[in-house]
Structure 1
């Protein structure tokens, strides 16, 4: 543990000095951290080839997120150029009351993510549109971003179509429906409380008259730079429908980008080759309207390259730490401390947070949260449905809270708001964490099983339970 703590302190020092003192890109800080972990591996007599394999395995485990990020970059660029996002913003402004906007944005993003099972797809489509509407209403973008991400992670955590939901149930050896039902004990109260908070803030914070005037100006600016039509809402509906029907996200999002290029040529009068090129270079307009320049000069695969590099470095770091044994050492420390349901809940969440902080991906955090603490649940006779619920709360939920994770980087790059800026407004996330910890110490929804001795094999199925 002394060596583990030394690596953790060194990692934090590298990140702080590189970013805040030397003003270097975060990618270089993560790259330098590789060699910090490798130094510990060499001290432990591990070969470089062995550590490199761990690094490559770590990157391989998160490649799906990289591919999704690439396709979403193309989709955002073409959807803006094709007038799809401007049309969504325009019609949203025409029917939405500014004072209920935050509540409506949270519910819309929550329903979209529940239907599609993807927070990335939700934020890249409905989320981008909500950012435009909220900005035109004069609502601070960090608050809008927090609302959008909060809604998007409702489905990422709860939808049976979500890869993280399915993966968590599999890792914890829990039935998928049982896992979702367990999470409902925490998520339903969190959704209700977050909805009330967004509604109250909207009524007391948003100035209805001033915002309506600004929204009218934004609608005029959109009409002057884009052809706006209800037909341009069709590509968004098609993409969401295909995701809802559980078609693979990467080809579906790519198909959406193709539809965006067609709309850019057909509806906006952009030359066919240029409409295709926008998928890579992104949309670019010259306007005196600050609203358009802020929201609509973005997108394209090229805009995601720096983000992709960051994710690759973070994934590689996670694979290195697992291969060197740092994660296992943390696990052993948790096993000695977590001797009641409250502490066990906290230890699982910390395991997920460490996976995000050092591994840079939701997939890594789900692995660390479940493997670090699963034996303690069996020893204490606590059903693994509680483990799976806490794994999502510590892994999936904390992913967009760390600036260099795949989720944190994606949200910041897609919405144009830094992680630390939108972090205070992730109210759904904070409520899930707080309610989970409260349940642990209050012994609420902590289902019991027969305790399993240390020398017994791990159970492969969920045993019969009774409510504690």
Structure 2
């Protein structure tokens, strides 16, 4: 029996899957339930091509098990952010970062401040909610063009969303391509550095070109007047967490220690246990709690099952082989992978689905011909950041809502997001030339 899926069947499966996801987002429905019609259709076509329900159950369980560590981390994030809020960590970080703001270089500092916050909290949405809102108010006070400010803020938010080890998209991507945290961070660090440097230069140029109506800010505590002792204590939880990650400790242990340190601090500072527990479950301010994370956890597990069925039935592999015909050029394959990532992002209403889909679909080819580390870098610089530029992406909609600027208005100024695919393409070309030069040198010897 022919086990290859026709192009029409593939298109139908994706159309049904994406359509129900779009409807779920439009009507605020559960995303994990919206995946069921796509899974049913996928299994239905699979049975037609000779696959069995036992195979689908096995594949589903395999996908769920692979994503279970990400699910646990999402649960930990739901505990961590409210706990850091009640311990004073979020408040003191906010005051610390805002104290550096300079009206003369507002765009540059806005980008850097949100970038630093996003690296600490691991979320573009959380960082925009914490420091983005007061920065937008300050920009309005100075009389700056809000689309440019919003672009700088969203750019900063995606620095951590892409690169922070405690970011859900960071962990989801590295698990999808099956590499460890340190390897993934090493692979994305070079393009991160270039992306941040070039973004700073571009925002600096904007600061020089765009005039400010006034150069004073109200309601921002100067750095010299901050309570350094309080801030030092508040920095202990994120410092502990990041230190454990850098020393290669297991993620659950690292998160537990970061949370435990904050719990001790919040109790010492007089926070009532019931107040903390209530915030822990329901969330506090714009920070998600455990209740907010549970539907997302289920969605990640269901998408894991869906993508594993697609992987085991090789539904997309024949078409991948038609696209990726040159297994020697790293730069050409980078461009093709970016194009696939763009296509997946355009048809997806959220960030997680295309991360898992592109990671699992492209990983076998990249593992065979280049390396999984290269793929993790390319997808971090494409799939992850594209979610902030697609107007119907849930993440872009949330960013737009927080900064109060439409996606299409801030997108031209979201410099970091626009630069990363270009930088990773150029970087692949540089790596290719270095490898070719090294091989030539070896052959000459």
TM-score by length of 1: 0.68
Q: Of 430, 439, 443, which aligns to 1:465? A: 439
Are 1:10 and 2:16 an aligned pair? Answer: yes
Are 1:446 and 2:432 an aligned pair? Answer: yes
Per-residue deviation at 1:105?
A: 5.8
Are 1:196 and 2:201 an aligned pair? Answer: yes
Q: Of 284, 297, 312, which aligns to 1:323? A: 312
Give unpaired runs (5+ residues) of structure 1.
284-295, 378-383, 451-462
SS at match of 1:137: helix
Number of the residue aligned with 2:143: none
Q: Deviations over 1:345-375 (max 9, x none)?
A: 3333345567777872746533432323566
CA gap of 1:43–1:400, structure 2 versus 1, over 3 A, is farther
Number of the residue aligned with 1:434: 422
Contact in 1 for aligned 2:21/2:34 (Cα 8 Å): yes
Contact in 2 for aligned 1:72/1:124 (Cα 8 Å): no
Measure the CA separation in 1 of the matches of 2:104 and 2:71.
37
Are 1:394 and 2:400 an aligned pair? Answer: no
Per-residue deviation at 1:169?
A: 9.1
Number of the residue aligned with 1:303: 292
SS at match of 2:439: coil
Are 1:153 and 2:162 an aligned pair? Answer: yes
SS at match of 1:446: helix
Contact in 2 for aligned 1:264/1:270 (Cα 8 Å): yes
Q: Of 352, 359, 367, which aligns to 1:366? A: 359
Give unpaired runs (5+ residues) of structure 2.
1-5, 140-145
CA gap of 1:9–1:464, structure 2 versus 1, over 3 A, is same
Aligned pairs, number: 409
| Structure with more contact order per residue of length (Cα contacts < 8 Å, sep ≥ 6) | 2
Q: Deviations over 1:266-305 (max 9, x none)?
A: 32x332343344322333xxxxxxxxxxxx3533212212
Q: Of 337, 358, 366, which aligns to 1:348? A: 337
Per-residue deviation at 1:216?
A: 6.4
Contact in 2 for aligned 1:348/1:372 (Cα 8 Å): no
Contact in 1 for aligned 2:60/2:305 (Cα 8 Å): yes
Contact in 2 for aligned 1:190/1:428 (Cα 8 Å): yes
Measure the CA separation in 1 of the matches of 2:216 and 2:279.
32
Measure the CA separation in 2 of the matches of 1:337 and 1:91.
50
CA gap of 1:200–1:76, structure 2 versus 1, over 3 A, is farther
Number of the residue aligned with 1:453: none
Per-residue deviation at 1:136?
A: 4.8
Superposition pairs of residues 86-105 of structure 1, within 5 angstroms: 86-100=91-105, 102-104=107-109
Number of the residue aligned with 1:41: 46
CA gap of 1:82–1:350, structure 2 versus 1, over 3 A, is same
Measure the CA separation in 2 of the matches of 1:33 and 1:87.
45
Per-residue deviation at 1:85?
A: 0.9
Q: Deviations over 1:235-271 (max 9, x none)?
A: 333333333333333332233333333333332x332
Superposition pairs of residues 2-151 of structure 1, within 5 angstroms: 2=7, 3-20=9-26, 24-100=29-105, 102-104=107-109, 106-107=111-112, 121=122, 129-131=130-132, 133-138=134-139, 143-151=152-160
Q: Deviations over 1:321-350 (max 9, x none)?
A: 112221322322224488966543333334
Are 1:278 and 2:263 an aligned pair? Answer: no
TM-score by length of 2: 0.71
RMSD: 4.8
Measure the CA separation in 1 of the matches of 2:330 and 2:127.
38
Number of the residue aligned with 1:286: none
CA gap of 1:60–1:423, structure 2 versus 1, over 3 A, is farther
Measure the CA separation in 2 of the matches of 1:43 and 1:120.
47
Per-residue deviation at 1:108?
A: 6.3
Per-residue deviation at 1:166?
A: 9.7
Q: Deviations over 1:408-434 (max 9, x none)?
A: 87898899859x948666533432312
SS at match of 1:212: coil
Superposition pairs of residues 289-300 of structure 1, within 5 angstroms: 296-300=285-289
Measure the CA separation in 2 of the matches of 1:393 and 1:324.
25
